[in-house]
Every structure is written in C-alpha cells, then in structure tokens.
Structure 1
Amino acid sequence: MSTPILICDDSGFARRQMARSLPDSWDVDISFAENGEQALTLIREGKGDVVFLDLNMPVMDGYQTMEEIRKHDLPCLVIVVSGDVQAQAREKMLALGALDFIRKPIDNDKLSHILSSYGIYSGETHSSGAKLQKVEEASQTKATASQRVTSTEEKLDACREMVNIAMGRAGESLAELLGEFIDLPIPNVNLIESNELSMAVAEINRNESVSAVSKGFISEGVSGEALVIFNDTNSQNIVELLKYPPSASSDKLALEALMDVSNILIGACLNGLSEQLKVAFSHTHPVLLGQHQGLSALLSDNVQRWGKLMAIEIGYAIKARDISFDLLLLFPGDAMSQVYSRLLDDSYDTDDKEGL
C-alpha cells in the first residue's frame, strides 16, 4: 500500500527537488501544497501521512502550520526541509512536534537515513531520485523538461529557491555572531532594466537616510554585485548588539558595525550560491558607498553601466531589537543566463529520464 506523502513548499522548483530526493524503492503517493493552508486541507483529506514542510512561505508559513497540526492533533509525521538552518528555528519546530529538520539542498542519503531511523521507510538507504510518475502537479503534467527550461517564471522560481538556501546560510552565520534569531523573508526576485533599479529599491527602505556597503563577485561565467543597505536609525542598535567596547566615536563604531555585518552577510550568502552553482567566486574588497545619504544617491553611479539585470532583495530583521537591513544581489547580462543554465541543467537531468 502506498504511503501518502505531502510536500509543502512555495517553490515548484523545490517541490520537484524534494520529490526526486525520495528513495526510488519507496512506494509513495505524492501530493503537493504551496503553503501551509493548502497543506492542512490535504492532511485532513488523508494525503499527508508524512509531510515535508518548508518554513518560509506566503499565506501560512511552516511555524504556523506546525502550530495548527499540533493544536488539532492532525495525524501526520512532519519533517522540516528548509534553507533557514538557525538553531532557534530547529529548536522551535522540534518543540512543536516535528520529527527532524533537514537542511536544503537535500542530502539524499541523509534523508534516507532519517526516514529509516524513524521507521518511516525500511528499504535501501541509498536514494538517487524518486520515480515521479505518481507526481501530479496540474501545471506540470504535460510539460516537458525543455519547456520548463524556457519558462521565465520557472527560471525566476529556480533562482528564488537558490537564493532562499543561500540567505538561510547567511542568516545562520549572523545569528551565531549576534546571538539573536534572524527573521528571514521570501526573497524578492525580479528582472528589470538598470535604470529601473533605483525606483524598485526605493520600496525597500522609505527612510531618507541610509548607509550601504558594496562588494563585487566574479567567477567563470557568473558575476555580480552585492549590496547591504542599512537604515541609519538602526546603527546604534546594531552597535549595542555587537558589544563593541565604547572606546571610539559613535560614527566610527557605526561604520565598523556596518562593515562587519556586511562581510558576514555577503560572504555567507555567496558561499551558499557558489556551492549550488558549483563555482568559486572571487570577491572584491568591500566598498562603503556612502553614509547618511538618500538611497538613490548610493545606487545611481553603481548600476547605470548595466542593461537588463536580475535584482534579488532579501530583507533581514531582528525584530526583538528593532533592527532591519537589506541584502541586494545584482546579476547583470550574461551572468543571469549562466545562473539559470547551471541550476536548471543539473536539476532537470533526472526529469528528462523520468518523462516529466
């Protein structure tokens, strides 16, 4: 008898990755949900004896979903699969009743071991990609792999999931440094013209005065620029959180905090990207674009040389300290196409073989 499996993730790309990671010999009936609200409906319909649950989703996130499962004692076993790997995120979900917590991207052998250790699956411990003829996503039933590769929306979804994993790594590093839980958003990914960037980014922070640090990165075929943008009203809170000795001026401490947080965020995020893209990035030295300036002034000279680009915005926050800052990843021209091809070529090899 097939085991009803529910994969809940707002990314179609991530849902397919999760389905491929299930052991080949496991007899399963797979259903999909794009958010927690859909997941709860399917669980109540008996379609989720085992649930693989993402954390950062619209409508209802993983935390809210787990709280509802516990509150109503719904009959399912939950394994969290997330790019947010902060210790506090893991502890909270386990306390709510999740069986285990798996880091994205998924290690197939580790997944098989977890399933076996809880008695969910007792077959071979090696997993090379689930047979997906039972997978039923209406929008994908008749689509071929080549059609998916040419879809702009699916390319953006793939890039969003890539950044979701990378930002989780950065959040984990920052949480360890600051000793605080970092609230992570759903990354905002858009294709825009360079002359539209100032207007688009202005929506990030409506305050008149901000500070920013820029760092370029390059590898064979993939290059771009990362910017960390701080609201100046946050600077003193960040200094206090970092516990710098009060031996320097407030402006000097604010600058030191700005550079330290920027280096951690950008470095950890780029490491997460390089692992997924299988490239090694060379980094430029961080550059202070400006302090206490309007946002448009920080960006105007920096991006006008680019044409069409992919702009990725991640809004980090430490709500307990009233701190927020934004990480922007900008990929110009050919780099954008290289990102797509590296992600999609690797991810759809098994789809081609399995007829999706």
Structure 2
Amino acid sequence: MAVIPLVICDDSNMARKQLVRSLPEGWGVSITQATNGEEALTALRQGLGQVMLLDLTMPILDGYGTLAAIRNEGLAVKVIVVSGDVQEQAVARVRELGALDFIRKPADPTELATVLQRHGIYSPSPTTPAEPVARPELEVSFRDAFREVVNVSMGRAGALLAKALDVFVQLPIPNVNILEVSELHMTLVDAQREDRLSAVCQGYIGEGIAGEALLIFHDSEFDDMARLVRWREAGESGDIEMLLDLSSIIIGACLAGIAEQFDIRFSQGHPTILGHHASIDELIVVNKTRWKKTLAVELSYSLEGHNVHFDLLLLFTEDSVKRITRKIGYLMS
C-alpha cells in the first residue's frame, strides 16, 4: 500500500501532537509538520503533501492565506481544516477557498476518520496489512499546551459573539505568561491605545483552579459597539449595561470552553464594573492588592469592518498552575 505524504500545519506543538494521535491506526502516511502557512506551502511545493490538515489562526501566514495561495498556485493537495475558529462564516470561507471539509478542535479520531473516508482519502482494509502510521514525538511545553486550550475556548467565544452581533470576529493568537503584578501593569499599558478605558471583571473558581477575567473596552469605540448591539440607553447606565452584556458572552464562553476541556465546572461570580472611563493606572491602583503573581492569558478580539476591539485577560492564581498542569497532562495522555 502506497504511503501518502501528509502535511500537518498548526503553530501549536500540542495541536500537532493531538492530530498525529488522532490519525487512523494503520493508515500509511509520511508526516511533514509546519508551524505556519509559509512552511506548509514550502512543503507542498516540494511534493511533500497530497493531503493537509490545516489550522486557521497562525502567525506569519494564517490558514485563510494558505488556502488562497494553494488555489492561486494550483497546488494539488486535499485540505481539511482543523480549527478552534468555529464561526459559521469561518466554515463558509474555508470551503469557498477550496477546503474539502472542516473539523473543530480538538479533533475527534472517529470524526477525523469519517471525514477522511468521505473524501476518499482513507479507506480501512481489514484484509490488507497497512503501513504503520509514522508518529513523531513532540515535546510540548506548559505554555504551548495551555495556549492551545485557550485557543479552542477563544474560538467558541468568538463564534457566540459573531452570532450575537452578526459580525465576523478576527481571533488573536493567545499570549500566555507568568507575570508579577508589576509586569501585569506593563501588559495592561501595552494593551492601552488611548487614555480612557472601561473594564469589567468577573471571578471564577472550580476544582482548585481560580482567577479573574478582565475585559477591557476602549471608550472611543462605544458608539460603534452601540450600533452593533442596536440599542443604547441614554447616559452612563446604558453604557454599563452594554458592557455587562458583552462581557457575559465573551467571558462566559471562554471559561466554558476551558471547563469542558478540563472536565470541570467553574462557578462564576457576578460581573462587576472595575473602572468606567478610567485610566490604566486607576485600574491597577484599585486592584493591586488582589493581583500578585498570576498566570495571565492575553487575548485581543477585533470585529471585521468595525472599529471595535476587546482586550481580554484571564488571570489565574499562582496556586492554580499545578492543577492546570495536571489537567493538561490528562489531555496529552
């Protein structure tokens, strides 16, 4: 049985490792790994990929750009997108660009095998011995693994936001770091593009994992947000109600995605206005006694065609890191 050249393109070591483990047993493939679209295109031009499993949210060249380049160059490859970006528009766009199918992360081995069979890429043959699947071993750091968990959760939050506002949400690459409070201050300053901000904070706890979510809005974008939401009550109370509604969607969906992957349940506190039309320094002064050393995840959503951005920080307590590490270990086992 001929060996099929397969390219797995994803910027996350954990995601690539999960995909390798999800491939059908006994499927004869030679695997080339790529961490972004440019690397994948190089492999395809060298004839190393008849089939490709492609992520969408990547640095240098994302999945959309990769699909466009494949079509423009006429490269002969069957592409299945495997992504955490589960917006309806995302699925439609990749199909228009030539992808055969779409699988949401993390890929289920049964679903992956079904999709491969549907498109004539893989066919189990009980009577013919097959080449064993080449399974390269990958070292996955805590930062990379947790970033992938957040990436999946972020995609689900983006899909809910896209549906609620009837927009396309441009998803970021999550940034994961262990920060001291002084470094957190610098991170918030970096996120600031103007003097006045508003922020919503919501605490959460579940099975030894606890923290706070901080969602930052830029005051200059309030009018655009109000038009998207299609209502606005007069005065400050209307702004606050709008912020709380949007925060409920984004923070709730992100935490639900993490909880689902870790097989836990978060208890969430009531969202509160942390600062309204305030500066970064004012936000830090109010909360510096609560934020010490923290595992911080930075996300910056933006809405295509609109001047609207949301800067989301998920701040996990230092004590949560051990529990998160164990949960990630279960995902990788």
Mapped partners of 2:105, 2:44: distance in 1? 23
Partner of 1:237: 224
Cα distance between partner residues in 2 of 1:304 and 1:332 = 13
Q: Which amino acid aligns with 2:107?
A: I
Structure 2 stretches lacking a partner, 5+ long: none
Tell me by how many angstroms 1:306 deviates.
4.2
Contact 1:209–1:292 at 8 Å: present in 2 too? yes
Distance 1:124 1:284 in 2: 53
Counterparts of 1:237 and 1:177 in 2: how far apart (Å)?
15
Aligned match for 1:338, one of 311, 314, 323: 323
Q: Distance in 2 between matches of 1:205 and 1:160?
A: 22
Q: Name the counterpart of 2:122.
A: 121
Is contact 2:38-2:66 (8 Å) kept?
yes
Aligned: 1:314 with 2:299: yes
Measured against aligned partners, the alpha-carbon deviations of 1:153-191 in whole angstroms (never above 9, x if no partner) come to x10000111110000000000000000000111011111
* Per-residue deviation, 1:304: 3.3
Match of residue 305 from structure 1: 290
Paired residue for 1:188? 175
The TM-score, its normalising length taken from structure 1, stands at 0.88
**Partner amino acid, structure 2, of 1:4:** P
Assess if the C-alpha contact under 8 Å between 1:198 and 1:300 holds in 2: no
Preserved contact between residue 28 and residue 132 of structure 2 (Cα < 8 Å): no
Q: Do the aligned residues in 2 keep the contact of 1:80 with 1:102 (CA within 8 Å)?
A: yes
Q: 1:50-199 to 2 correspondence within 5 Å?
A: 50-123=51-124, 134-136=134-136, 140=138, 154-199=141-186
Q: If the length of structure 2 is used for normalisation, what is the TM-score?
A: 0.94
Amino acid at match of 1:86: Q
Q: How many Å apart are 1:310 and its aligned residue?
A: 1.0
Is residue 177–residue 295 contact of structure 2 (8 Å, CA) maintained in 1?
yes
> Structure 1: which 5+ runs fail to align?
149-153, 350-356
Aligned-partner Cα distance in 1 for 2:89–2:297: 26
Match of 2:214 in 1: 227
3-state SS of paired residue (1:16)? helix
> 1:158·1:340 contact (CA, 8 Å) conserved in 2?
no
- Deviations 1:265-321, CA, capped at 9 Å, x for gaps: 001111100011111000000011110000232133324334421111110001311
Q: Distance in 2 between matches of 1:214 and 1:305?
A: 12
Percent identical pairs in the alignment equals 45
Pairwise CA distance, 1:194: 2.1
Matches of 1:175 and 1:124, distance apart in 2: 42
Change (3 A) 1:97 1:83: same
Q: Secondary structure at the match of 2:171?
A: coil
Looking at structure 2, the residues matched to 131 and 27 of structure 1 have their Cα atoms a distance apart, in angstroms, of 6
Q: Secondary structure at the match of 1:230?
A: strand
In 2, are the aligned partners of 1:316 and 1:324 still within 8 Å (CA)?
A: yes
Among candidates 189, 210, 220, match of residue 202 of structure 1:
189
Counterpart secondary structure, 1:321: coil
Pairwise CA distance, 1:230: 0.1
| Greater Cα offset, 3-12 or 250-259 | 250-259
Cα RMSD (Å) of the superposition? Answer: 1.7
Distance 1:295 1:339 in 2: 29
The one-letter code matched in structure 2 to 1:38 is: E
Please tell me whether residue 212 in structure 1 is matched to residue 199 in structure 2.
Answer: yes
Match of 2:237 in 1: 252
Q: Which runs of 4+ in 1 moved over 6 A?
A: none
Does residue 6 of the first structure (1) align with residue 7 of the second (2)? yes
Distance in 1, Cα, partners of 2:219 & 2:119: 49
CA 1:243 to 1:29, structure 2 compared with 1: closer, same or farther past 3 Å?
Answer: same
Residue 319 of structure 2: SS of its match in structure 1?
Answer: helix
Tell me if the contact between 1:162 and 1:276 (Cα under 8 Å) persists in the aligned partners.
yes
Count of residues paired in the alignment: 328
